[in-house]
């Protein structure tokens, strides 16, 4: 499916609009902030257009409240003269919360979003193909000199169309990957960013203290830890790294926290590890990560743990 083009300036404007939507929720907003908002809104007609789009997203949240009898008919007790004010504040709070739940800020920044359980395959305007893992998002900006994709969340596999005059770059946090006629996988995780090459090679530039720049080839993986700002290169099985494209997760001595992070992409709810020390237990094997019950059964057998389901909540415990 074709992806919508957005410039860097447009994405910056979208981010600013999302920020103003959230700041304007504050009933006690300072006069200086109100003046700054009016100046921003009047500074460019496109600011007003994008802010209106953000308000429409907020409106979707309000509609969700109004369509839910439990929320629509919510009463504030005890009764008092302040009830209308408190009720309005509660509706605003609920709308803001639903705006976040509806992924409003990301929807303003991203060109393509894969929701929970979705793994779409898209074709970019240059003919390159990208498959997103579930719960992932990206934005792209192509011009006459460079093709830039920003991985905003999650994981994506890139099969790059050749164009010697326009480098193909992927930005993922502090990491920038430049394709050298290649296919590769990028994972922007909670604790690390991984780049795995399945064909040809890439140049990886990291915005760390040393401004590390490394070239990795087919069968290699670059790993960057933003907390420690440490990076490393290791041998990697490309088929294992992209097993997610087949609905599988293949791990070799991986911490439970990593496995749960991948399971969350496909689960409409929350998965919690308790106690937290359990998150560092190591596991190896292959599991159907798109099937939450099957993945939990695998973990129960492999680690001797127990899982409890409470509605949309799963608790993993010893």
Question: Would you say 179 and 169 are in contact if contact means Cβ atoms under 8 Å apart?
Answer: yes
Kind and range of the H or E element at 49? helix 45-66
Reported pTM = 0.73
Instruction: Read off the tokens for 26.
Output: 């504050």
Does residue 67 carry a pLDDT above 70? no
What the chain holds in terms of domains, given with CATH numbers, is 8-109 (no CATH), 112-236 (2.60.120.1440), 247-317 (3.55.50.30)
Residue 72 half-sphere exposure toward CB, CA atoms < 13 A = 8
Does residue 93 carry a pLDDT above 70? no
Residues 150, 112: Cα–Cα separation, whole Å: 11
Per-residue pLDDT tens digits for 16-55:
877 777 778 776 788 888 888 889 888 888 888 878 777 7
Question: Would you say 289 and 244 are in contact if contact means Cβ atoms under 8 Å apart?
Answer: yes
Per-residue pLDDT tens digits for 193-250:
999 999 999 999 998 878 889 999 999 999 999 999 999 999 999 999 999 999 999 9
Per-residue pLDDT tens digits for 240-260:
999 999 999 999 999 999 999
Q: How far from chain centre, in Å, is Cα 195?
A: 16
């Amino acid at each position: 499916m074709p992806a919508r083009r957005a410039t860097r300036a447009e994405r910056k404007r979208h981010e600013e609009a999302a920020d103003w939507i959230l700041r304007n929720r504050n009933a006690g907003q300072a006069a200086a902030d109100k003046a700054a908002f009016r100046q921003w809104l009047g500074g460019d007609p496109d600011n007003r257009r994008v802010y209106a789009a953000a308000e429409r997203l907020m409106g979707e949240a309000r509609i969700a409240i109004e369509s839910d009898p439990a929320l629509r008919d919510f009463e504030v007790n005890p009764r008092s003269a302040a009830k209308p004010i408190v009720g309005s504040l509660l509706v605003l709070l609920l709308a803001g919360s639903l705006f976040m739940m509806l992924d409003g800020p990301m929807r303003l920044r991203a060109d393509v979003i894969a929701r929970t359980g979705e793994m779409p395959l898209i074709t970019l305007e240059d003919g390159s193909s990208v498959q997103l893992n579930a719960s992932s998002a990206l934005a792209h900006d192509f011009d006459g000199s460079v093709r830039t994709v920003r991985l905003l969340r999650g994981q994506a596999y890139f099969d790059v169309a050749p164009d010697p005059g326009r480098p193909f770059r992927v930005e993922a946090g502090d990491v920038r990957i430049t394709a050298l006629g290649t296919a590769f996988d990028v994972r922007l995780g909670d604790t690390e960013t991984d780049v795995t090459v399945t064909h040809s090679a890439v140049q990886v530039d990291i915005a760390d203290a040393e401004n590390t720049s490394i070239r990795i080839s087919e069968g290699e993986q670059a790993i960057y830890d933003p907390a420690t700002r440490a990076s490393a290169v290791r041998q990697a099985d490309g088929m294992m790294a992209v097993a997610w494209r087949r609905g599988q997760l293949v791990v070799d001595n991986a911490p439970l926290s990593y496995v749960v992070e991948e399971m969350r992409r496909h689960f409409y709810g929350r998965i919690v590890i308790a106690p937290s020390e359990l998150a560092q237990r190591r596991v190896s094997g292959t599991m159907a990560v798109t099937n939450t019950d099957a993945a939990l059964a695998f973990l129960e057998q492999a680690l001797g743990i127990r899982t409890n389901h409470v509605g949309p909540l799963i608790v993993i415990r010893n």
